Every structure is written in C-alpha cells, then in structure tokens.
Amino acid sequence: MRIKKHPILTFPEREEISFIFEGKNVIGYQGDTIASALHDLDIKTLSYSIKLNRPRGFYCAIGNCASCNMVVNGKPNVRTCITPLKENMTVERQKNKGVLK
C-alpha cells in the first residue's frame, strides 16, 4: 500500500519500527502514524461502531472523526490517524466506547 516509486517525488528509506497489533509483532516506519502504518499492512478495520458494531476505518486523517479510535498501550479512544508510531507500542482494535473491562 505504500508508494515506493514515483515519477517526480523521491522517498528516502526510513528506519523500521516494531510494534504490536492485536498480539502480533508488525513493522511500521519512522514518521508513520499508527493508522498509516496499519493501512500499509493492509489492515483497514481500525474500530467498530458503537450501536451496530460495524467496521470503521481510516476516514478523515486529521483527527476530527472517531473512525480511527483504537486502544493504544491500554488507553482507549486514541486517534490513531494523528498519533505518531513509536517502538513497542501495543495497538488493539476498539469495540463499543473503548471502556476496558
């Protein structure tokens, strides 16, 4: 999902960042947000709607909607489209209002 070759732009290589998604070790890159790293890994469902439990994905990419809310390092309702990816983060899909039991 990541653009690697472009006729006009160049994309320098970036350092890999290891993080945990749903209990599995995965890789993103320095400068990614959590949502962009997951999108690059072809993970499109980030959370689920409160009432009907329908999948939600990358939508506004500026932190205005709640479609990308996820549980990050145990904290619910993190807007992953604007949250920078960091080494060893634990990221989980969020269901309902994100209240952990």
Residue-wise pLDDT tens digits, 20-62: 999 999 999 999 999 999 999 999 999 888 888 889 988 888 8
Give the angle 46-48-54 at the CA atoms, nearest 5°: 120
**Domain layout of the chain by residue ranges:** 16-92
Cβ contacts of residue 99 below 8 Å, gap of 6+? 76
The fold of 16-92 is Ubiquitin-like (UB roll) (3.10.20)
| Whole-angstrom distance, CA of residue 49 vs CA of residue 98 | 11
Partners of residue 75 on adjacent β-strands? 72
* pLDDT for the residue numbered 98: 60
Whether the per-residue pLDDT at 101 is higher than 50: the answer is no
Mean pLDDT of 72-100: 89
Check if the beta carbon of residue 35 is closer than 8 Å to that of residue 80.
Answer: yes
Percent of the chain with pLDDT over 70: 93
* pLDDT for the residue numbered 69: 93
The number of beta carbons lying within 10 Å of the beta carbon of residue 94 is 24
> 8-17, 70-79, 92-101: which range is least confident on average?
92-101
DSSP state of 30: T
